[in-house]
Amino acid sequence: MSINKNGLLAGKVAIITGASRGIGEAIAIRYAMEGAKVVVSARTVDDGDHILAGSMNSVVKRINDAGGEAAAVRCDMALAEDRVQLIETTKALFGSVDIVVNNAAVTYFIPISEFPEKRQKLMFEVQVHGPLHLAQLAMESMRERGSGWILNISSHAALHPEVGGPASGGTVYGMCKAALERLSTGLASEVADQNIRVNAISPGLVATPGVVHHGLVNESNKDRVVPVENMAEACLRLVHDEGGDLSGRIAYADEMIEEFTLTPAVLV
């Protein structure tokens, strides 16, 4: 497939946070393939700036070289001033925001008995308070136009663990994602009459650079790894109304693929 300027998201402006690699990168590319003007946001500006491969500028180049339209805007989601600047810069570049995908995350896997308060607060700021604030900022223009989509990237970690099961040090991560899901359903209810759709979606096990770095793919689960294209396709379905609007969902990529008979596109 290639860039379709008249695709499902033609004329739409989309912000994807945490889009320098992995799931965020895939979502940004898939939206651009459907004609969206995409703002790729993260902290990693250039290749080599981070221990993990990938950068905002490399993703933007990939999209623009394929004939799409994208720009990079650096944003540390832990900082309120950066979140404000992200919205303002996007408006200056492309116009009012139609779609926000809250994908950025900072994660530490540490047992509760040893978890430093500073890192707890940072995780909640990036994964809960930041998405809430960005939604508030973006919704100002969405209300004016009577249309908009907010998509929060969650995780199966939000589900309650089995007591006595293997300890992973992921309690704080799970707390953040559970809070993000409750934010999603609550906000969806609040803005339903304004034609703003809000959903949360979990990807399943995708071998992104971050997942590999944390050692989350191992011999016991490697057979459950799914392509990142599946998540990108499911995330596309949640930000357009063709075939019916969707809001207030706690979705899972594999279930979305099956429910809507989606065929994941090859990313440009």
Catalytic residue flag (residue 31): no
When comparing pLDDT for 152 and 48, which is higher? 152
The CATH number linked to 184 is 3.40.50.720
DSSP code string of the chain: ----TTSTTTT-EEEESS-SSHHHHHHHHHHHHTT-EEEEEES--STTSSSSS--HHHHHHHHHHTT-EEEEEE--TT-HHHHHHHHHHHHHHH-S--EEEE---------GGG--HHHHHHHHIIIIIHHHHHHHHHHHHHHHHT-EEEEEE--GGGSPPPTTS---S-HHHHHHHHHHHHHHHHHHHHTGGGTEEEEEEE--S---HHHHHTT---TTTGGG---HHHHHHHHHHTT--TTS---S-EEEHHHHHHHTT--PPPP-
Range of the domain at 228: 13-105+129-154+176-259
For residue 150, the model assigns a pLDDT of: 98
Question: Does 54 have pLDDT greater than 80?
Answer: yes
Residue 145 within a domain: yes
* 233-239 average pLDDT score: 98
Question: Does 58 have pLDDT greater than 50?
Answer: yes
Question: Does 47 have pLDDT greater than 80?
Answer: no
When comparing pLDDT for 216 and 190, which is higher? 190
- The proportion of the chain whose per-residue pLDDT surpasses 70, expressed as a percent, equals 90
Residue 29 within a domain: yes
Average pLDDT, the chain: 92
pLDDT in tens, 103-135: 999 999 999 999 999 999 999 999 999 999 999
For residue 254, the model assigns a pLDDT of: 95
- Kindly report the number of other CB atoms within 10 A of residue 198's CB atom: 27
Question: Does 21 have pLDDT greater than 50?
Answer: yes
At 163, the pLDDT band (50, 70, 90 cuts) reads confident
For residue 44, the model assigns a pLDDT of: 87
Are residues 104 and 24 in contact, defined by beta-carbon separation less than 8 angstroms? yes
Count structural domains, the chain.
1
**Alpha carbons 45 and 54: distance in angstroms, whole number:** 9
- Kindly report the number of other CB atoms within 10 A of residue 74's CB atom: 17
When comparing pLDDT for 1 and 149, which is higher? 149
At 164, the pLDDT band (50, 70, 90 cuts) reads confident
For residue 213, the model assigns a pLDDT of: 47
At 53, the pLDDT band (50, 70, 90 cuts) reads confident
Are residues 250 and 230 in contact, defined by beta-carbon separation less than 8 angstroms? no
For residue 86, the model assigns a pLDDT of: 98
Residue 170 within a domain: no
**Alpha carbons 177 and 183: distance in angstroms, whole number:** 10
When comparing pLDDT for 240 and 215, which is higher? 240
Residue 267 within a domain: no
> What is the reported pTM?
0.92
List 31, 108, 173, 252, catalytic entry: 173
Half-sphere exposure of 82 (CA within 13 A, CB side): 15
For residue 243, the model assigns a pLDDT of: 80
